[in-house]
Amino acid sequence: MAAAAFDALAAGWDGRHGPWSPRGAGFRLRVALLRHLSRRQRPCRVLDVGCGTGLHLLALAGQLESGLGIDLALAMIERARRHAQAPGQAGRIRFDVLPAAALAGWPGEPFDLVLFLGSLEHIAAPAQALRDAAGCLSQHGLLVTLILHPSHPLGRRACRCAGRGSMPPLRLIAPVEMEAWAVQAGVERVQAGRPVPVLGGLRAAGRHAARPPFHHLPATDIRLSRRGRARNVATTPSSAAKAQTSMPD
């Protein structure tokens, strides 16, 4: 059902969500954050789960060792592959039709950066997807999820549209759920670091964010978690001090 819904949206996806769309400012903010993170994860092998038409991953191509984008919608992957053939795009990026469930027991090389950029809400078993994705991380790999906040009007509107069938199936994720799933997946929260704005700035959700605080992307909750012993590092200042910085320079 989700695959068919996204297949139907593929032709106009870039015009509504890409860098030249009305949502272009948000796209550029996400790319700025991802470029920052990929520079820190050297060498950087990236997995984009629910990659859509691949524009986020291709925007990082010049600084990656390799990149894999997966999506269950064939039409999305076909468009991503066409984008990857454009002049100047690195041949190290590939796109495959795969569901998130295919990450369970991943047989390939581990990834240094795993991304869920607005895709986790559309996955039928999001907690399991997080656990499987965490299992794909390298020893110091980073897992990034970008989700609609359930309290934001845009999030509520998205739920109504999904209920009417005018957009793909959607289940918004509360921050407390994300915290619990991260612990179950064996990843720890990465705290915000030195606050240098990027087009207005971004902020990692949590009680120990950098000061002065960054602003959230509209309707967005950004979670940054690093592979490690399962614990919530946002509980005490001493734990937070041990967490690695992972916010934009």
Digit-coded pLDDT (tens) for 206-234: 333 332 222 333 344 555 666 654 332 22
Please give the share of the chain, as a percent, with pLDDT higher than 90. 29
List the one residue out of 43, 60, 51 whose CA is nearest residue 112: 43
Tokens coding 41 = 């994860």
- 3-class DSSP state for residue 10? helix
| Average pLDDT along the chain | 75
Question: What is the average pLDDT across 95-114?
Answer: 93
Higher pLDDT, 61 or 214: 61
How far is it, in rounded angstroms, from Cα 47 to Cα 107? 14
> CA-CA distances (angstroms) from residue 180 to 204, 205, 231?
17, 14, 10
What pLDDT shows up at residue 179? 85
Residues 131, 183 contacting (CB under 8 angstroms):
no
Q: Any idea what DSSP says for residue 61?
A: G
The string of pLDDT tens digits covering residues 20-50 is: 888 788 888 888 888 888 887 777 899 999 9
The model's pTM is 0.77
Beta bridge partners of 48: 69, 115
Phi, psi at 226, each rounded to 5°: -110, 145
Query: Alpha helices, DSSP H only, in the chain?
Result: 2-17, 24-40, 55-59, 74-84, 126-134, 153-164, 175-185, 237-242
What domains are defined for the chain? 2-242 (3.40.50.150)
Question: What is the average pLDDT across 3-14?
Answer: 81
How far is it, in rounded angstroms, from Cα 3 to Cα 8? 9
The string of pLDDT tens digits covering residues 109-162 is: 999 999 999 899 899 899 999 999 999 999 888 999 888 788 877 777 777 777
Residues 64, 93 contacting (CB under 8 angstroms):
yes
